[in-house]
Amino acid sequence: LEFRFWGVRGSYPVARPHASRLGGNTPCVQVQAGGRQIIIDAGTGIRRLGQALMAGGACPPPISLLISHTHWDHIQGFPHFAPAYDARGHIAVWSLRRPQSLAGLFSGQQELDFFPVPLERLPCRLEFFDLQEGEAVDIGPVLVRARRLNHAGVTSGYRLQHEGGVLAYICDVAPSRDMLLADIDTRGDERRTLDRLFQNQLALADRAEVVIYDTFFTPEEYQERRHWGHSTAEDAVEVCRRAGARNLFLFHHNPDRPDEAAERLLESLRQRFQDADLAIHAAVEGQSWRIRPGEIERCE
Ligand SMILES: [Zn+2]
Ligand SMILES: [Zn+2]
């Protein structure tokens, strides 16, 4: 299983020099395994991915697009995704079942008031599929599971498994210790719902080679904005340690955090948690990695 970061920035794209090393595009991760193309989230990073998939006039490959949730930074790149404009293209969009249809939400952001090409006029074959929580779905040779996270509305993390290698994508997510943000009927027991959502994180990350995690906040920022629905790197380390995961990628970087600050944060985390059997990395736009059972290596 190989994966590449095309967008690593949270909330909105950043085009300023302070974010040029980690990258300024909003979330998009490409996963390739057994010849299948799986994309997680359609932030602005998906635009360049679409161009790369069709470089030299190539026929677009069949694509499975997993959507964590429909906050704008996770779907705003889709109207600019080149394979959607090719009649040979076939895009299957997946998400956890939600009250409004995913197709309707995608169509909404391409209504004529917002974008000149309505979703219905895209020439590709476009299909939408619901996932049930915890249900295992085969996308080619990759086993995919979605589980609910503590974030506004309906948000899911993903666990992708291929030949013993596991990648977990946990974004966007708030800690389970303070407040419930997910739209869930708790039947009066919020604490139990929060505990269940935390167990979901552990199940997604269970002995994963790679965990890609929403580390938008520093602990100080989190204290002031607990209701925003994001976590800190310390939260990510705790989940990875308890789940026995091997590599943590800090992701959904705060758009106001300059590269230097992100690099200092990474260095201090590596020093503080060097006893853990966990390697910590920062997700960098353009970097790709290969997962083998028990280890990962940088491709480029
Ligand atoms: Zn986000
Ligand atoms: Zn969000």
Give per-residue pLDDT as tens, 100-138.
999 999 999 999 999 999 999 999 999 999 999 999 999
State the Cα–Cα distance between residues 158 and 228, nearest whole angstrom: 21
- Which DSSP string do the residues of 40-72 spell out, in sequence order? E--STHHHHHHHHHTGGGPPPPPEEEE-S--SG
pLDDT at 48: 98
Cβ pair 168, 158 in contact under 8 A: yes
With a cut of 90, say whether residue 238 has pLDDT above it.
yes
Ligand closest to Cα of 73 equals 1
Ligand nearest to the CA of 26: 1
* CA–centroid distance, residue 26 to ligand 2 (Å): 11
For residue range 206-227, list pLDDT tens digits in order. 999 999 999 999 999 999 999 9
With b for 16 or more beta-carbon neighbours within 10 A and e for fewer, the 145-156 pattern comes to bbbbbbbeebbb
Element (H or E) spanning 214, and its range? strand 210-214
- Lookup result for tokens 């979901």: 200
Nearest ligand to the CA atom of 252: 1
CA of 275 to the centre of ligand 1 (A): 31
Per-residue pLDDT at 276? 76
CA 163–ligand 2 middle distance (angstroms): 31
Give the residue-averaged pLDDT of 22-36. 97
Q: How far is the CA of 89 from the centre of ligand 1 (A)?
A: 27
Mean pLDDT (the chain, rounded): 96
Residues within 5 Å of ion ligand 2 by Cβ? 71, 172
Q: What is the CA radius of gyration of the chain?
A: 18
Query: With pLDDT > 90 as the criterion, what percentage of the chain qualifies?
Result: 96
The 8-class DSSP code of residue 99 comes to S
> Residue 227: enclosing H or E segment and its boundaries?
none
CA of 73 to the centre of ligand 1 (A): 5
In the predicted model, what is the mean pLDDT of residues 280-295?
94
| pLDDT higher at 24 or 293 | 24
CA of 278 to the centre of ligand 2 (A): 26
Ligand 1 mean position, distance from CA 56 (Å): 32
85 alpha carbon – ligand 1 mean position (Å): 26
Surface-to-core class of residue 261, CB atoms within 10 Å of its CB (0-12 exposed, 13-18 middle, 19+ buried): middle
Expressed in angstroms and rounded, the spacing between residue 267 Cα and the centre of ligand 1 is 24
The answer to whether the beta carbons of residues 110 and 117 sit under 8 Å apart is yes
pLDDT single digits (tens) 176-205: 999 999 999 999 899 999 999 999 999 999
What confidence category does residue 292 fall into, taking pLDDT thresholds of 50, 70 and 90?
confident
Specify whether the CB–CB gap between 286 and 28 falls below 8 A: no
Q: How many other CB atoms are there within 10 angstroms of residue 45's CB atom?
A: 28
pLDDT given for residue 44 in this prediction: 98
Percent of the chain with pLDDT over 70: 100
What local confidence, expressed as pLDDT, does residue 164 receive?
78
pTM reported for the whole predicted model:
0.98
61 C-alpha vs ligand 2 centroid, how far in Å? Answer: 28
Ligand at minimal distance from the CA of 152 is 2
**Measured in angstroms, how far is the CA atom of residue 175 from the centroid of ligand 1?**
15
* pLDDT tens for each residue of 263-278: 999 999 999 998 779 9
What ligand has the least distance to the C-alpha of 215?
Answer: 1
The Å distance, Cα 68 to ligand 1 centre, comes to 9
Residue 80: name the closest of 50, 54, 103 by CA. Answer: 50
Torsion angle defined by CA atoms of residues 107, 101, 49 and 236, in that order, rounded to the nearest 10 degrees: 140
What ligand is nearest to the CA atom of residue 216? 1
**252: which DSSP letter?**
S
- The ligand that comes nearest to the alpha carbon of residue 71 is 2
